[in-house]
Copies of this chain bind each other. A is one copy, B any other.
Amino acid sequence: MSGWVTVAGLGPGAEDLVTPEVRAALEEATDIVGYIPYVARVPPREGLALHASDNRVELDRALQALEMAAEGRRVVIVSSGDPGVFAMASALFERLETAPEFADTDIRILPGITAMLAAAARAGAPLGHDFCAINLSDNLKPFDLIERRLRHAARGDFAMAFYNPRSKSRPHQFARVLDILREECEAGRIVLFARAVSTPEEKITVVPLSEARPEMADMRTVVLVGNTSTRRVGRWIYTPRGTVAAGTA
């Protein structure tokens, strides 16, 4: 039997946001590989081996999956959200690039509901017009590049979604991000903190930029920032579809 590696997105947390495609892959798998809390979301069953590892070992985990596939195993690497958005898909290809012996591995990437879209849906439609997604972790890139991207995103009047805004090892950095935004954007710009969306711990907080505080975010939070047109209607937040009056369209 020939093995394979599938990188699957489990969505933000709720079971009814896992696609049938991903569910089918989990049912065919012999092995599940991934970060501890994501592997914990896969129901155990006989014949299924669970290989949970800590974070920051993404390349080791990718190699483990490629090695098991070469032995004929059916391996699913699980990611939260979508595997192609700041998750395991890139790490797999990064590892594959330096391991030509695995070049012929049967690989599939299965998309999932990424956190920013689940958060946006809960709040209304804050990403309803052009937007950027930025990973605020400087684990793998210098903060200067983050700052450059923030300024371009603001000057292009993009809405923004921030992943990994804050962690115990980077407590001060998100304060700098907010300072940069305050230099580039008006005080009333809408900022949305969405924690653990679609789980029992879900919490959504909406504030103007002037009232945004670093401690409103942690590693389970995705932060959305509106563009200059983003507004409230009742309890909802939305960004209009364009800047030209739509008439009856």
Contact = CB atoms under 8 A, between A and B. Distances in A.
A89 B125 contact: yes
Contact of A132 (B132, B140, B236): B132
Interface string A122-161: 1011111111111100011110010011011101111000
A104 to B, nearest CB: 8
Interface in A80-97: 82-87, 89-94, 96-97
A116 to B, nearest CB: 9
A238 interface: yes
Contacts of A3: none
Nearest to A153: B156
Interface stretch (A32-40, A54-62, A65-73, A175-183): A54-62
Q: Which of A59, A110, A126, A234 has the most CB of B within 10 A?
A: A234
A236 B109 CA distance: 11
Contact of A93 (B114, B125, B140, B142): B125
Interface stretch (A15-23, A42-50, A186-194, A208-216): A15-23
A14 interface: yes
A244 B132 contact: no
A121 interface: yes
Contacts of A89: 121, 124-125, 128, 238
Interface residues of A, number: 82
A137 B244 CA distance: 12
A11 B113 CA distance: 10
B111 A112 contact: no
28 contacts: A16-B19, A16-B24, A17-B21, A18-B20, A19-B19, A19-B113, A60-B248, A82-B117, A84-B121, A84-B126, A86-B128, A93-B238, A96-B233, A107-B236, A111-B117, A129-B135, A132-B133, A132-B153, A132-B156, A140-B243, A140-B249, A141-B243, A141-B244, A142-B244, A145-B157, A148-B157, A149-B158, A152-B156
Q: Ordered nearest first, which 3 A-B pairs have the shortest CB separation?
A: A140-B242, A90-B128, A152-B156
Interface of A: 11, 14-21, 24, 56-60, 82-87, 89-94, 96-97, 103, 107, 109-114, 117-118, 120-122, 124-135, 139-142, 145, 148-149, 151-153, 155-158, 231, 233-234, 236, 238-244, 246, 248-249
